[in-house]
Amino acid sequence: MLKQNQLRTYLSDFVALFFPNICLGCESALPNGVPHICPTCQYNLPKTRNYKIEVPHIEQKLAGSVRYSHLLAYVHFHKKGIVQKLLHELKYNHKEEIGIMLGRWFGHDLLLAGFQNEFDIIVPVPLHPSKFKKRGYNQSEAFAKGLAEVLKMEVVNALVRNVASETQTKKSRIERQENVASIFEVAEPNLVIGRRVLLVDDVLTTGATIIACGNQLINVGVSEFSVAVIAATQ
């Protein structure tokens, strides 16, 4: 058994020598066991102030379209920045663990900020079954799992996406709103009625998805509706 363990260690060191794990931020080699981003780049993540989304046009739009209690984001999104790199790996390179990692980090920050008793359940924004099958996981649910682990809460997949909407990446603000206006449904109302729901998503851009999901949840009778995202655009 000892020889087998030694062999695994040698093989791991050999692979790390020729195929080092690189930090997505500074591109330095990462030590074994350090995933995706070095401690320095983690420390320098562009965190939001007080974990709140303070983007006037988004706040105004949401305030006039959906009734929410908290609007939270872990980091700011900047094109070609480290957050975009992390999200790209999460969504398109099969790195589900990045979502869980970011959820844990944000969860610890929310605990320190006193949010541990503000919500009853976490509900991730759903993927359409066809996209879920292609990707193999829901990036928003991965983020939700990390949050739930730290905040000691339950992840409830109460929402379903009935229409496979086109990708939002290159759409204008108005096109995004039209693209998601009526594609979500609360499939399990009994799981959310009378509860304080924290809806989670990966990125908040125009708020169209949040509004669509939020109004569906409010219409079935949640007691409070809040939002947490990995990143918010500015």
Tell me the per-residue pLDDT of 39-80, one tens digit each, with 9 for 90 and over. 999 999 999 988 888 778 788 888 889 999 999 999 999 999
* Interval 14-25 mean pLDDT: 68
Q: What is the pLDDT of residue 57?
A: 77
Distance CA 28, CA 174 (A): 40
Q: What pairs with residue 72 in β-bridges? A: 52, 228
* Interval 97-126 mean pLDDT: 97
Q: Binning pLDDT at 50, 70 and 90, where does residue 197 land?
A: very high
Strands (E), 57-195: 71-77, 121-124, 154-155, 159-161, 184-186
Take residue 29 and report the two structure tokens written for it: 């080699």
Q: What is the pLDDT of residue 165?
A: 63
The residues near 96 (Cβ < 8 Å, ≥ 6 apart) are 90, 136, 137, 139, 142
Distance CA 74, CA 231 (A): 6
Residue listed under structure tokens 């918010």:
232
Distance CA 184, CA 214 (A): 10
Q: Binning pLDDT at 50, 70 and 90, where does residue 14 land?
A: very low
Residue listed under structure tokens 């320190």:
112
Distance CA 204, CA 76 (A): 10
The residues near 46 (Cβ < 8 Å, ≥ 6 apart) are 75, 76, 78, 81, 82, 83
Record the pTM.
Answer: 0.85
- What is the per-residue pLDDT across 113-133, written as a single tens digit (0 to 9) for each? 999 899 999 999 999 999 999
CA-based angle 228:21:19, to the nearest 5? 150
Q: What percent of the chain has pLDDT over 90?
A: 70
Name the more confident of 189 and 60.
189
Distance CA 174, CA 45 (A): 30
Lowest mean pLDDT segment, chosen from 40-49, 68-77, 165-174, 190-199: 165-174
Q: What domains are defined for the chain?
A: 1-44 (no CATH), 46-233 (3.40.50.2020)
Q: What is the pLDDT of residue 166?
A: 57
Q: What is the pLDDT of residue 15?
A: 43
* Interval 19-37 mean pLDDT: 86
Q: Strand, helix or coil at 184?
A: strand
Q: What is the pLDDT of residue 79?
A: 93
Query: What Rg, from alpha-carbon coordinates, does the chain have?
Result: 19
**Short-list 121, 151, 138, 153, CA closest to 202:** 138
